[in-house]
Amino acid sequence: MTITEKILAAHSSKGRVYPGELINARVDLILANDITAPIAIQEFKKIGAKDVFDRKKIALIPDHFAPQKDIKAAEQCKILRDFSGEHKLELYFEVGRMGVEHALLPEQGLVAPGELIIGADSHTCTYGALGAFATGVGSTDVASAMAIGECWFKVPETIKFIYFGKLNKWVGGKDLILHTIGDIGVDGALYKAMEFEGEVIRNLPMHGRLTMCNMAIEAGGKSGIIVPDSITEEYVKERVKRHYTVYNSDSDACYEEIREYDCSKIPITISCPHSPANTKPASELSHIWIDQVVIGSCTNGRLEDLREAASIIKGKKVNPNVRMIVIPATQLIYKQAMIEGLIEIFIDAEAVVSTPTCGPCLGGYMGILSKGERALATTNRNFIGRMGHPESEVYLCNPAVAAASAVTGRITIPQELGM
C-alpha cells in the first residue's frame, strides 16, 4: 500500500484498503475557521448532537476576517467563541493566541505523522508535509465528525511526483509546486493523493514541504503527502508530546501515475492571472508592473519565508509606487521575526507589518485590490476577484521574488538586484 492507503486503513480498522473504496475512518483532529465553523455549528445543532466526541480534538480558529474587520466578521467569530465555551473546547484560539490555521497547528504540535486530519478549509492538505493524511471537507462533514469522531472517504488513487537534480538559486518549495501545477493543470490530480519524493524532497526543509503540500489542492488533489524522514522527526520531536505512528509507502505500492522532474531545469516560477496553472519563468515577466506585494498566508508566512524576504530587502526601500504588506502567519513567528530584527528591516524598507491573519489572501481585508490594480503575492490562489475587484490581477511567487519586486515596482528576480 501507499502511505495514504496505510493511514486510511489504520483509521478504519481494516487490514488494507483499495483506491475507490468507500470507508468510514476515525479522525485525529478536526478544524474550522470563522467562515466555515458557523455553518458546521449550525448543522451540529440541527442534527440534535448534545456534545462533541472529544473536546481535545476540535480546533476552532478565527483567522480569515480576524482581528474582526466589521460587525459581520465579529458575529461570525463570536459563534466560534460561544460554541467553544459551551463545549469546553481546548483548542479554541482567540486573537492574540491565534495564527493562520495551517501554520498554527503544526507549530503547536497538534499534527503528527500518521494521523488523519479533516478541516473545513481546502488548504488542510498542508499537514501532509508531516506524513499525515489531511484533507479539506465541507462544513456539514465537520458537523457530523464533531459529533461522532468519524468521517467518510473514498480512498484516493495516488500519483507519485519524483524530484531529482539540483535546485537553482532562489528556487524552493513554492517554485516546485507552481511548476508542477503548471505541468499537470488545476485538475491534473483531481481527487488524487499527491505523494512527493526524490532526492530534492529529502533535502527540502520543512517549510518548503509545507508549502508544497499546501498547494496540492490547486492541482485538484485530495491531499499532498511526504513520507516522514529525519527532517520530519526533527520538526515534530520538540512539538508533539504524544505517541504517533510513522508510515511509509511499500516498494511495490501501486500508483496511478509516476511523474519525474529534473529540478535543474525548473526556474524561479510565477503563476500569472487567473489560474495557478498559468505558470511562466519569472525572468520572462520583468515588464509586468505591480501595485501591491503581499508576503504571508498559510503558503509562505513562515519564519523562513520572512527571513528570505528580509535578506533581499535589507537596506533597500519599497518602490514609491508599491505598497508592501508583510503578514507573519502566527504570533510565535511574529515574535521571533521581531527578535531577529526582521520586522525592523521591513519597516525601515517602508513596508507595513500586520498581525497574523489570512486577510488579503482571500480578499478579506488588509490589502484589497481596486479595479485595474495588480498584486504579486506569496499566497496560493489568483482566481478572478480573489484579492478584491474582479478586474484586478494577482500573480503568485516565492518570498524572494516578492521582496525584490517590491523594490523595483515590477516583477523582478533577486539576481537583478545582485542577490
Sorted by where each begins, the domain ranges of the chain are 3-261, 269-417
Q: Which residues contact 253 (CB under 8 A, 6 or more apart)?
A: 1, 2, 5, 158
Give the model's pLDDT for residue 381: 97
| Three cell numbers written together for 78 | 463570536
Q: Using CA atoms, how far apart are residues 398 and 293, in angstroms rounded to an integer?
A: 11
Cβ atoms within 10 Å, residue 262:
11
- What mean pLDDT, rounded, does the chain reach? 97
- The per-residue pLDDT for range 276-331, each reduced to its tens digit, is 999 999 999 999 999 999 999 999 999 999 999 999 999 999 999 999 999 999 99
Give the model's pLDDT for residue 136: 98
3-261 and 269-417, same CATH topology: yes
Which among 248, 217, 210, 223 has a CA at the least distance from the CA of 129?
Answer: 210
Give the model's pLDDT for residue 333: 98
Percent of the chain with pLDDT over 70: 100
What would the mean pLDDT of 52-71 be, rounded to a whole number? 97
- At 85, the pLDDT band (50, 70, 90 cuts) reads very high
Q: Using CA atoms, how far apart are residues 20 and 80, in angstroms rounded to an integer?
A: 35
Q: Coil, helix or strand for 221?
A: coil
Q: Using CA atoms, how far apart are residues 261 and 266, in angstroms rounded to an integer?
A: 8
Question: Amino acid letter at 37?
Answer: A
pTM of the model: 0.96
- The per-residue pLDDT for range 129-172, each reduced to its tens digit, is 999 999 999 999 999 999 999 999 999 999 999 999 999 999 99
CATH 3.30.499.10, domain 3-261, yes or no = yes
What would the mean pLDDT of 113-121 be, rounded to a whole number? 98
- The per-residue pLDDT for range 20-45, each reduced to its tens digit, is 999 999 999 999 999 999 999 999 99
Cβ atoms within 10 Å, residue 371:
9
Q: Using CA atoms, how far apart are residues 92 and 395, in angstroms rounded to an integer?
A: 33
Residues 23/155, Cβ–Cβ less than 8 Å: yes
Q: Using CA atoms, how far apart are residues 225 and 288, in angstroms rounded to an integer?
A: 34
What would the mean pLDDT of 389-406 be, rounded to a whole number? 98
What would the mean pLDDT of 97-120 be, rounded to a whole number? 97
Residues 379/297, Cβ–Cβ less than 8 Å: yes
Give the model's pLDDT for residue 345: 98
Cis peptide bond prior to 274, omega within 30° of 0: yes
| Three cell numbers written together for 360 | 488579503
Q: Which CATH superfamily is domain 269-417 in?
A: Aconitase, domain 3 (3.30.499.10)
What would the mean pLDDT of 103-121 be, rounded to a whole number? 98
- The per-residue pLDDT for range 327-379, each reduced to its tens digit, is 999 999 999 999 999 999 999 999 999 999 999 999 999 999 999 999 999 99
What would the mean pLDDT of 239-266 be, rounded to a whole number? 97
Which among 211, 206, 210 has a CA at the least distance from the CA of 230?
Answer: 206
Which among 178, 177, 186, 240 has a CA at the least distance from the CA of 204?
Answer: 177
Residues 19/46, Cβ–Cβ less than 8 Å: no
CA distances from 404 to 23, 107, 133, 245, 397 (A): 48, 28, 36, 42, 11
Residue 204 gets which letter from DSSP? S
Residue 388 gets which letter from DSSP? B
Cβ atoms within 10 Å, residue 355:
16
State the DSSP H helix or E strand holding residue 262, giving kind and residue range, or none if neither: strand 257-262
